[in-house]
Amino acid sequence: MALNTSQSRAADAWAEPGAASTGAPSGRRTLRRRPGRPGKPDNRVTRYLVLVLLIGAAVLMLAPLVWAFSTSLRTPAQSFTLPPMWLPTDFAWENYRQVFEVSRFANYVTNNVVVSVAIVLGQLATASLAGYAFARLRFPGRGVLFGLVLATIMVPIQVTIVPIFILISEIGWADSLVALIVPAWPTAFGTFLLRQYFKTIPHELAEAAAIDGAGEWQIFFRVYLPLAKPGLAVVAILAFNFHWNEFFRPLIFLSSPEKFTLPLGLVNLQGYMGTGSISVVLAGIVISLLPVLALFIIAQRFVVEGLMRGGLKG
């Protein structure tokens, strides 16, 4: 395999000293560590400082999750003790059972799964088609139209919620899960990310497929879409994570308790006057976190790869 300039320099750094500079035949070389430079201790100090900062940031981010899990296993009387306890003295596992007994928690989870999965599938379809069109097709006004799509990212949902609510009421979708699903299908961020991803795919692949007689749809489905799996995974994971925890739109569009999604169900679990047990509420929150954590752990490799490749070409 051919090495680029940086890789060749890195290889020379580990090679026998003097062999590269004299131009002598390489023969059998022994890998030796290059003698330390004067600035090496400073680099180690910098790495240790960065490591300490990262550990501190990780502790700050994990502390609320640990506290929520710990409190979900306490009795309500132990939930607000001072100084706070990180480990309960008695593990109240019945709090997790009460989550399903005092509310329609299974119904909330089912509604949330239906809404989140339907939105993910719709966003993958619209974002991949729009991203392919902006990346590969040539049509008048393409740049202006893409700029308008990007501009919608800066418009908050609170600005558009009233006209969307009026529209779904006029067509009879009020107080239904469809009202949450269909308006969420267009995604400006997903379109932008997949456009960037499609631009990294060589034109020669499409030209070779066209020479073999493939049409535009066949090129899209058989060439570009299979190569864009990491980008599609990023769009799917981000969309699932956002809409799994979405609270604002369900609060506006839904009024029947049997149609509530999980975030609204957690509020219902707490009680409209805040009379519910905080331990039971946190047990419900811990359960609601499990699908998102499992999805991210399984697909985090695709997230990193998709974001890196999507940002390489403008």
pLDDT digit string, tens, across residues 57-89: 999 998 888 888 888 888 877 777 777 777 777
For residues 300 and 187, the answer to whether their CB atoms sit within 8 Å is no
Looking at per-residue pLDDT, the higher value among 92 and 4 belongs to 92
> What is residue 33's predicted lDDT score, i.e. its pLDDT?
53
Report the SS3 class of residue 27.
coil
> What is residue 43's predicted lDDT score, i.e. its pLDDT?
83
For residues 311 and 199, the answer to whether their CB atoms sit within 8 Å is no
Q: Give the range with max mean pLDDT: 246-260, 262-276, 290-304.
A: 246-260
Which residues, 6 or more positions from 296, have their beta carbon under 8 angstroms from its beta carbon? 237, 241, 303
Give the rounded percent of residues in the chain with a pLDDT score beyond 90: 35
> What is residue 297's predicted lDDT score, i.e. its pLDDT?
83
Q: Is the pLDDT of residue 20 over 50?
A: no
Provide the greatest CA pair distance for the chain: 83
Looking at per-residue pLDDT, the higher value among 5 and 278 belongs to 278
- Which part of the chain is CATH 1.10.3720.10? 102-312
DSSP string, 14-58: HSPTTHHHHT----S----PPPPPTTHHHHHHHHHHHHHHHHHHH
Per-residue pLDDT band at 111 (split at 50, 70, 90): very high
Report the SS3 class of residue 305.
helix
Q: How far apart are CA 302 and CA 228, in angstroms?
A: 11
Q: Is the pLDDT of residue 2 over 50?
A: no
Q: How far apart are CA 227 and CA 233, in angstroms?
A: 12
List of long-range contacts for 295-298, beta carbons under 8 Å, 24+ apart:
295/237, 295/240, 295/241, 296/237, 296/241
Q: Both tokens of residue 215?
A: 């049409």
Q: Is 127 exposed, middle or buried (0-12, 13-18, 19+ CB in 10 A)?
A: buried
Q: Is the pLDDT of residue 19 over 60?
A: no
Which residues, 6 or more positions from 9, have their beta carbon under 8 angstroms from its beta carbon? none
CATH superfamily of 102-312: MetI-like (1.10.3720.10)
Looking at per-residue pLDDT, the higher value among 295 and 112 belongs to 112
CA atoms within 13 A on the CB side of 297: 6
Length of the chain: 314
> What is residue 24's predicted lDDT score, i.e. its pLDDT?
43
CA atoms within 13 A on the CB side of 280: 21
Q: Is the pLDDT of residue 29 over 60?
A: no
Cα separations (Å) of 73 from 65, 102, 166, 232, 279?
Answer: 13, 17, 44, 38, 7
pLDDT digit string, tens, across residues 132-157: 999 988 889 999 999 999 999 888 88
Per-residue pLDDT band at 14 (split at 50, 70, 90): very low
When the pLDDT of each residue in the chain is averaged and rounded to a whole number, the result is 82
First to last CA, the chain: 29
